[in-house]
Amino acid sequence: MDKSVVEIEVKAVLPTSGGCAVFLGDDLKVFVIYVDQAVGAAITMFMHHTPKPRPQTHDLFADVLTALGARVERVVINDFNESVYYARLIIVASNELDQQKIVEIDARPSDSIALATQQKAPIFIAEHVWEGVEDMSDVLQKMEERGFQVSDDDEPTTDVD
């Protein structure tokens, strides 16, 4: 199997009637993964460094990783089957002798994206999956033109006059 990957980033997180649409991609192509409201909110908070009144689930997981001397090294969205994306969370753990162990864990792409965003770890997509996703660049552009603005400094907003 081909192990080629493409590095992508979170371009925007926009609310939908059933949760959130996470737009991921690069300068050439953007695709969407739909996530539940809680994970969408977590990704948005991590993107914008929004303080939370108390730790949420992704914060807990990150704190446990840190306590164990581990960190998220990268995320790979590695498959797509019957409208479902699959991902691998790659974690690097160091022991007291500074020896490293790499652990790969099957994880929901939504949780993986949230953790990668929180820990500033890169996100990749397998090339065979990338080639099969529908390009949604025009949809994101139209949403931005209609007033949805997402930048690195602001929360997603709509312009209302």
pLDDT value of residue 22: 96
Alpha helices, DSSP H only, in 1-156?
Answer: 37-48, 57-67, 109-119, 127-132, 137-145
pLDDT value of residue 97: 80
Contacts with 108 (C-beta within 8 Å, 6 or more apart), sequence order: 87
* DSSP output for 106-120: EE-HHHHHHHHHHHT
Contact 45, 62 (CB under 8 A): no
- Residue 131's CB is within 10 A of a number of other CB atoms, namely 10
CA atoms 18, 29, 109, 86: torsion sign: positive
Q: Round to whole Å and give the CA distance between 116 and 48.
A: 14
Q: Could you tell me the pTM of the whole model? A: 0.85
Q: Which residues of the chain have pLDDT under 50?
A: 151-161
Give residue-wise pLDDT tens across range 11-56. 999 988 999 999 999 999 999 999 999 999 999 999 999 988 888 8
Q: Round to whole Å and give the CA distance between 124 and 8.
A: 6
pLDDT value of residue 154: 42
- Residue 126's CB is within 10 A of a number of other CB atoms, namely 22
pLDDT value of residue 62: 92
Reduced to 3 states, what is the DSSP secondary structure of residue 41?
helix
Domain boundaries of the chain, sorted by first residue: 5-151
pLDDT value of residue 75: 98
Q: Which helix (H) or strand (E) holds 80?
A: strand 70-81
CATH architecture for residues 5-151: Roll (3.10)
Q: Round to whole Å and give the CA distance between 58 and 43.
A: 10
